[in-house]
Amino acid sequence: MPVRIDKNEKRMTAYIMGEIDHHSAKEIREEIDANIESLLPELLLLDFKDVTFMDSSGIGLVMGRYKLMRTIGGEVKVTNVSAHIKKVMRLAGLDKLAVIEK
Amino acid sequence: MKPVNEMKIQFVSRSANEGFARVAVAAFFAQLDPTVDEMADIKTAISEAVTNCIVHAYKNELGAVYLTAKIYEDRRVVVTVRDKGCGIEDIGKAMEPMYTTCDTGERAGLGFAVMESFMDKLKVRSKVGKGTTVTLTKYLSSREQDNG
């Protein structure tokens, strides 16, 4: 599984691992969404520490979770992004949508 | 100008090949010793181009994706990604950031925007019903100063 979920109080952390592209995004997305729906967190933290590659599919992944979290009144934060991933996210203006830490 | 080195691959439009394509191109260009950033830019752009073939060109079918990578003397690298899929009706519209025909809400519509911003040149040629060719060019920085 390319994602590990941790729940702490009202915060859910998704540790994403490996490469995020169109091929891998579906499984990651389904795993995160299933957990959001059962845990109903107030904050979703997407941890990119172990992500080795990301293309624009990663932008769709963050945007889609942002929308889902908004429907349950929660927010999304993105953390531990490498310079390359930050570059892809900035291109999409994701830094304005979700808080990117570090 | 003729390329100094060149490679061609062909693969089926299965999504598992997105990773294969970008890694194959990166491995080929490794002989130029590009920077980590340059390599990441190229891999990302290839990933976008190949994903377009899989998601759009061959939307409801499997088809062949033809990829060439060329190295020129001035450290210019050129990659073409070609398909014989449905083609693009309005290239200008397709290249607009955030424009997507994908209705699942999970695609950002940024494929061409990424290719354009991460490479130095992007050319798209397409014919409806015939297919699309995307040509990506990047000028790699000189590595000479690293030797001295």
Residues in chain B within 8 Å Cβ distance of A92: 108, 110
Contact A92 B110 (CB under 8 A): yes
Respond yes or no: is residue B48 known to be catalytic.
yes
Residue of A nearest to B15 (CA): A23
Q: How many CA atoms lie within 13 A of B119 on its CB side?
A: 27
Q: If pLDDT is split at 50, 70 and 90, which confidence band does B101 have? A: confident
Rounded to the nearest integer, the mean pLDDT of chain B is 93
Higher pLDDT, residue B137 or B145: B137
How many beta carbons lie within 10 A of that of residue A10, not counting itself?
Answer: 11
What pLDDT score was predicted for residue B135? 98
Find the mean pLDDT for residues B44-50.
97
**Considering B75, B76, B107, B125, which one is annotated as catalytic?**
B107
Q: How far is B110 from chain A (nearest CA, A)?
A: 6
Give catalytic status of residue B147 as yes or no. Answer: no
Six token digits for residue B137: 């060019």
Q: What is the mean pLDDT of residues B58-62?
A: 95
Tell me, what's the pLDDT at B146?
54
Q: Check whether B29 has a pLDDT greater than 90.
A: yes
Contact B108 A60 (CB under 8 A): yes
Domain count, chain A: 1
Q: List, for residues A20-48, the tens digit of each pLDDT value.
A: 999 999 999 999 999 999 999 999 999 99
Instruction: List the one residue out of A48, A50, A69, A59 whose CA is nearest residue A25.
Output: A59
- B117:A61 CB<8 A: no
Residues on chain B touching A25 (C-beta within 8 angstroms): 106
pLDDT at B148: 42
Banded model confidence at residue A83, pLDDT cuts 50, 70, 90: very high
CB neighbour list of residue B103: distance below 8 Å, 6 or more residues apart: none
Q: What's the confidence (pLDDT) of residue A1?
A: 75
Cα–Cα distance measured from residue B79 to residue B22, given in angstroms and rounded to the nearest whole number = 11
First to last CA, chain B: 30
B124-128, Cβ contacts within 8 angstroms, sequence gap of 24 or more: B124/B88, B124/B91, B124/B94, B124/B95, B126/B87, B126/B88, B126/B91, B127/B87, B128/B86, B128/B87, B128/B88, B128/B89
Of A4, A54, A80, A47, the closest CA to residue B19 belongs to A54
Asked whether the beta carbons of B53 and A22 are under 8 A apart, the reply is no
Residues 30-89 of A with CB under 8 A from B: 53-57, 59-61, 63-64, 67, 83-84, 87-88
Residue B146 token pair: 């690293």
Q: What is the pTM of this model?
A: 0.92
Is residue A101 over pLDDT 80? Answer: no
pLDDT for the residue B105: 64
B19, B43, B108 member nearest A56 (Cβ): B108
Confidence of residue B107 (pLDDT cuts 50, 70, 90): confident
CATH number for A22: 3.30.750.24
pLDDT at site A102: 63
Domains for chain B: give ranges and CATH numbers: 5-139 (3.30.565.10)
Task: Give me the domain span that covers residue A11.
Answer: 3-100
Contact B106 A60 (CB under 8 A): yes
